[in-house]
Amino acid sequence: MINSSRLLEGYLQQSRFKQVEPYLNGDVLDFGGNEGELKKLVKGSYTLVNYDHSPMKNKTFDTVVALAVIEHIEVNNVYSAFKEFRYKVRPNGIIFLTTPTPQAKPLLEFLAYINVLDRHNIEEHKHYWTKEEIENLANKNGFRVKRYKKFQLGFNQLAILEKLNNN
């Protein structure tokens, strides 16, 4: 879990929030949303899940948000979660995700080493996703990458996945 009381971590979190805010449409699932800090920006219903996924049972969503989350999950478990999202995302719905780029790994590890970032949080990173891997994740689970961009000097990336009509 992010310790947003640390100055840099709070800044990075707010930067991700700025990126996602225009896409927070309808009913929102905040996947791995920490303590629900994003809720204040959501106009529709808001569902938060971290380790316990039961709050999303029997619900569907217009928007699924996964901000700085998938790097903390084993790759095969990310694929399982996104397979489930296929059934949770409504037609015309999206998944909005951010994750550090592979180029960010040495910088994040250094900042954790000098105690600017939470060391445990960075040590928890299981995988640094490439653009191609994100595209593959989308394609294998009934989505396509509608938009992709790097931000924060190329050390972070976002992808907007839209649900394919036949799913």
Say which DSSP state 131 is in. Answer: H
**pLDDT tens string 20-48:** 999 999 999 999 998 999 999 999 999 99
Taking each helix axis from N to C terminus, what angle separates 75-88 and 131-140, rounded to the nearest 10 degrees?
Answer: 50
CATH number of the structural domain 7-163:
3.40.50.150
Task: Please give the average per-residue pLDDT across 58-70, as a whole number.
Answer: 96
> Using 50, 70 and 90 to split pLDDT, how confident is the model at 136?
very high
Answer whether 95's CB lies under 8 Å from 124's CB: no
**Would you kindly state where each structural domain of the chain is located, as residue ranges?**
7-163
C-beta separation of 97 from 149 below 8 A? no
Partners of 143 in beta bridges: 163
Residue 83, helix vs strand vs coil: helix
The mean pLDDT value for 83-98 works out to 95
Bridging pattern class, strands 89-100 and 61-67? parallel
pTM of the predicted structure, to 2 decimals: 0.91
